[in-house]
């Protein structure tokens, strides 16, 4: 049996998406194993969570006076020590230096809490409510140098209900994040998913639109 794909996960907070991917690997649902978790915040709860799952975890903070390029080099060196086949961003709140994204081009995934290309950046749930949108969701995409603009792999949609607030939207979107992120990692680990020529390819077919999950 082939060895599971080694995955390094970068987190800044609780690490719930990291946990969903790690547990999918441990349960054998995907041929991938989270072997390292790295955080820019030494106090991040995701580090303790990773250790409780038997995953090596470490903090790589950006020290005072360190610019983004220098931090990118330090982060890349720390990540490379684990020799990951895939790097996954799971609530990692630093904007990556272009040198990092180039080093892991085609092997770097992110999940974003909106239906990209709508609402890149922060405060997506608030912006959806302010705009009066009736649909919301989340997107797994390859990471490129442009923020939240890499090729989209899979999206999950939810209906915005009367009475929703940021907290209720966040909870329902996160439910789907925990489903589609391990799915996308599994596709990559199986050799079914790739980024080529600035586009996403699944099972040998170029995706003109992301795979859709969730509510209709």
What residues are labeled active site? 112
Task: List the one residue out of 156, 122, 126 whose CA is nearest residue 141.
Answer: 156
**H-type alpha helices, 59-213:** 68-80, 98-103, 124-131, 166-189
Instruction: Determine the angle formed by the axes of helices 16-26 and 45-52, rounding to 10 degrees.
Output: 10
DSSP 50-61: HHHTT-EEEE--
Pairing of strands 5-11, 32-39: parallel
Cα 215 from Cα 29, distance rounded (Å): 23
Query: SS3 for 187?
Result: helix
């Amino acid at each position: 049996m082939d060895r599971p794909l080694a995955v390094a996960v970068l987190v800044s907070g609780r690490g719930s998406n990291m946990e969903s991917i790690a547990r999918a690997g441990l349960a054998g649902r995907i041929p991938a194993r989270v072997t390292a978790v790295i955080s820019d915040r030494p106090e991040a709860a995701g580090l303790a969570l990773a250790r409780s799952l038997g995953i090596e975890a470490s903090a790589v903070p950006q020290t005072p006076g360190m610019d983004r390029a220098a931090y990118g080099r330090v982060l890349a060196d720390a990540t490379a020590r684990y020799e990951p086949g895939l790097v996954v961003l799971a609530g990692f709140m630093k904007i990556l230096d272009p040198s990092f994204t180039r080093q892991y081009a085609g092997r770097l995934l992110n999940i974003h809490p909106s239906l990209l290309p709508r609402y890149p950046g922060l405060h997506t749930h608030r912006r959806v409510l302010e705009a009066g949108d009736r649909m919301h969701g989340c997107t797994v995409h390859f990471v490129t140098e442009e923020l939240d603009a890499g090729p989209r792999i899979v999206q999950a949609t939810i209906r915005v209900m009367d009475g929703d607030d940021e907290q209720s939207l966040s909870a329902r979107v996160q439910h789907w994040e925990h489903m589609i992120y391990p799915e996308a990692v599994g596709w990559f680990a199986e050799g079914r998913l790739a980024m080529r020529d600035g586009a996403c390819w699944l099972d040998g077919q170029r995706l003109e639109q992301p795979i859709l999950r969730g509510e209709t």
